[in-house]
Structure 1
């Protein structure tokens, strides 16, 4: 890295479920004392700025639509953690322009740790069948062959292309279904969203239906990971990127799975928990109907019926040791159900 007094880090997505959990680990990391971290904070969150400053963090107001801000902040950074929108190509390109400026100014390749997702692997199963196609992050040829039309893929390709041009070292982390309520100091301070997406969406759809549901027959398969384990993966990649040991670019895709589940099995636990609290007619999940899919609150519900299978072998080779299993994913559902019902957000 450039020989400066402090390593400069630009971080996006700090108030999000994943971003806030990763940021907590960065603040607690031994490198924090010699780091200057600037967070992109949306104007709607400006009331949180003083609390963030009190933790030794810098902030800049803006969003992923403020391309000039993204480029400028990236141009000042030795490292960018991009933990926000995985599908905003213009934002990714702005960050890459900034990192190219950084390289031209310093002669040192900045590091980009970018968040994609195993959504890049999905098919159109509609919950009707599993797949035997399993991607391995130690097989870059298979990943490289993914169609540009796959979710997240156009952004991933732009980032790998930038790495190929040698002005940045890029590391792409691909979380699957992330589960469990985040429990961090940022959640305690009201700075971070504590909840994931997929399982709460399944719960909300069941509450609206008055019955736990599933897409099709629930035969499709997805990998899963606990929020603490995926946050640990970011730090493992960060540490190994700093020491030059982590593969980057084409060799820099890191899946974050620790087990997988059939949608039916997940939906069965949701249906049971809803039934237990009197919010479902049966402990058995019922297929969602066209009426369910048409509800605005259920936008994207069909996505839960896809397959996206993978192996996190590259991540484990770096020393990542996830602790939580699919059984823990099922155990996380009861408190999620309680949280959704108490919040009334469905």
Structure 2
């Protein structure tokens, strides 16, 4: 299958491109620079490059129209301009979907499990949390609506911690905060949990969703249902040789900065339906072992 991948040079995208190309799919990766293009080509010489970025809607339309399937992983990760980044994502998503209308070709949208209801185990059929609804959740709803417009839309909700070599997201951010503060923090008793998945397991899931997924379905990229934040803080503390400490709720914003939006969120998430339907079996290191083994130079 000829597959157009946005975010192809990213942390998850490189794993997805490698997974697809190694199993015979013809991959076209979106590259915003020569450096990104070289990174994508280094994964597999057979991978083709489409030069452009998420704001180049005509390029995205062409990439989607000329493909037999799309995996949309690209997103501008700038928390200071989050709403603006979400609007870029919305326009990019709609542009590609419009190019696919009536073709019944697969389109995979990527979002996160943090948008699900907090405090209880979330399942694949659960609705988004109305109290924590980001613009990305609205774009996800828009994308899924195209199942009624002749596009085989599927959604992969990824765990908040997609970990592994090259991670630049939540765990490295928490490590940098701990380095600066001289202590690895969690809020209150640290009993709230984060789901997690290794990037290679996530890449395998995206391939399965492309090949076997069903239109209108939501799949959970979750290998571990929920890891207590206190355990994560302790693992980070061991790696950095700093104490793991409880941060009072009133001091959380000062200590964690932008991460305060996520640090105390309780998001246990099941992937039981995803595993049963697709035969997905995560096999890589768990988050705590990965932190202790591979994050010492993060």
Equivalent residue, structure 1, for 2:181: 209
**Which residues in structure 2 correspond to 1:112-191 (within 5 Å)?**
112-121=107-116, 123=118, 131=119, 133-137=120-124, 140=125, 142-143=126-127, 146-147=129-130, 150-151=133-134, 152-165=136-149, 167-182=150-165
TM-score (norm 1): 0.74
Per the alignment, residue 89 of structure 2 pairs with: 91
Q: Is the CA contact 2:9–2:36 (under 8 Å) kept in the aligned structure 1? A: no
**For residues 130 and 251 of structure 2, what CA distance do their matches in structure 1 show?**
32
SS at 2:107's partner residue? strand
RMSD, aligned α-carbons: 2.8
Q: Do 1:116 and 1:174's aligned partners in 2 also have CA atoms closer than 8 Å?
A: yes
List per-residue Cα deviations over 1:13-54 (Å, max 9, x = no partner): 11111111111101101x32xx3x221111263562794597
Q: Is the 8 A contact 1:201 1:298 kept in 2?
A: no
Deviates more, 1:91-100 or 1:45-54: 45-54
CA deviation profile, 1:142-198 (whole Å, cap 9, x unmatched): 32x643961331111011111122x2111111111335433xxxxxxxxxxx21412
User: Is the contact made by 1:254 and 1:312 (CA closer than 8 Å) also made in structure 2?
Assistant: yes
Q: Distance in 1 between matches of 2:58 and 2:131?
A: 26
Over 3 Å counting, the alpha-carbon distance change for 1:159 and 1:253 in structure 2 is: same
Cross-structure match for 2:7? 13
Q: 1:274 — aligned with what?
A: 240
Tell me the equivalent position of 2:80: none
* Contact 2:31–2:49, Cα closer than 8 Å, also in 1: yes
Q: Are 2:9 and 1:43 equivalent residues in the alignment?
A: no
Decide which of 214, 218, 237 is 1:247's aligned counterpart: 214
The answer for the alignment partner of 1:316 in structure 2 is 275
Partner of residue 45 from structure 2, selected from 55, 60, 71? 55
CA distance in 1, matches of 2:44, 2:197: 31
**Which ranges of structure 2 fall in alignment gaps of 5 or more residues?**
77-84
- Matched position secondary structure for 2:71: strand
1:290 is displaced (CA, Å) by 7.3
Q: Which has the higher contact order (CA 8 A, sep 6+)?
A: 1
Distance 2:42 2:11 in 1: 16
Q: Is 1:237 the equivalent of 2:216?
A: no
Output the TM-score relative to the length of structure 2.
Answer: 0.84
In the alignment, which of 229, 242, 246 is matched to residue 263 of structure 1? 229
Q: In 2, Cα distance between the equivalents of 1:215 and 1:15?
A: 34
CA shift, 1:88, in A, is 3.0
3-state SS, counterpart of residue 229 of structure 1: helix
Gap change, CA 1:54 and 1:201, over 3 Å in 2: closer
Q: What is the count of residue pairs matched by the alignment?
A: 287
Would the aligned equivalents of 2:111 and 2:155 in 1 still touch at CA under 8 Å?
yes
